[in-house]
Amino acid sequence: MNTTTGTSPEALRASMVDNIRNVGHARLNAVEQAMRDVPRHRFVPAATVTEAYANIAVITKRASDGSALSCASVPTVVAMMLDQLDVQPGNRILEIGAGTGYNAALLSQLTGPSGHVTTVDIDPEVTVQARAALDETGYPEVEVVTRDGSLGAEEHAPYDRIIVTVGAFDLPPAWWNQLAPGGRLVVPLRWRGQTRSVAFVHDRDRLRSDSVQLCGFVPMIGQDNEQSGHIDPDGLVTLYWDADQNVNLDALQGALSKPKTAVWSGVTVGNTEPFDGVWLRMTGAEPSTCRIAVEPAAVDSGLCTPAIPSRSPALVEDDSLAYFTYRRLEHEGNERRSELGAIGQGPSGLQLAQRLCDQISAWDDARTNIPIITAYRTGTTVSELRESNVIEKRFSCLAVIS
């Protein structure tokens, strides 16, 4: 239960917010103040106070297989997304994914007494607990609705801000319809195997990003359009791809037994330098971008050695693939650097590895440039979509332009 020795919740909360600020989030003064005011530990009563204010997700409900169904998100991610949302006093806000109720309390603080917050969740157990926590902490004005989040809450629309706190694979019609013109939608959106918190602005017939941040979230129930399958006989290497991609698992079964071809880009990174931007760029430039994940035994045996075993970008075409990797370089002093590259296998493995390295080099030329993600409703015909590699989903399509 919520117990700790020697350190008060208030001191731990202050330290949590200070740490969030130190890593560059809670940049908006209003977000910082809200996080200093709202007692997070009271929304996660099964956790210790120390756990409540640590920079970790607090799991509040698990499935029978142990996977997380609901949680209080990592505080730095909460702050990051609230910065992206840019709530103004008086805003009407819709939250998809009630969780513990903590985020709804923060939203209520941000929008103030002249605004309104509605939070929706498909799980009645989650909404009952969120309702109780909000009432106990002084936020009875927050509306808690038990409903499929993809339907939104039309009864309180239109909304100036919509924030989605579960991983989404698509942008269902209700979110488009219920977001006011000029409104902001912040959503952890998944495509091509990676998830980004995208802040969209509703601009006439489209949603256009002005902030894109790396993140990870519990997936939204009933919206999964990602497919997966093993490409080795022992089930140690798994490929993940989207429904609009043509991946032939049968053709790939022998690829990892083919000779490896390593191609090195000449691009290097230090120990603390991020390189996730390579993957984001690939999603707009290479239609065959997907995710590869390998078990430790596959790495240990040398069967498959991607940069990050649990999640790395790959290019897959027919019976060949190439995946993102790196190698340690000799170093002087305290600085250790790694060179980024790709390993290709199969008849077209070399060409795919070269194409992946081309994307690494393009990223290196402008590391701080963040691609613009523009979303359109499915069926839209505009020149921007004709000129780019389109990611097609059931309700929306995305153009990722670097």
Q: Which residues are catalytic?
A: 67
CA distance 2 to 362: 49
**Four-point Cα dihedral 293, 297, 299, 301, nearest 10:** -140
Alpha-carbon distances of 28 from 214, 215, 334, rounded to whole Å? 19, 19, 35
User: Which of 285, 291, 93 has the alpha carbon at shortest distance from 180?
Assistant: 93
What backbone torsions phi and psi does residue 149 show, to the nearest 5 degrees?
Answer: -60, -25
What residues contact residue 397 under an 8 Å CB cut-off, 6+ apart? 375, 376, 377, 378, 380, 385, 390, 391
What tokens were used for 246?
A: 């043509």
Q: In what order do the strands lie in the sheet with 320-328?
A: 226-230, 237-242, 289-294, 312-317, 320-328, 337-345, 261-270
What residues contact residue 331 under an 8 Å CB cut-off, 6+ apart? 337
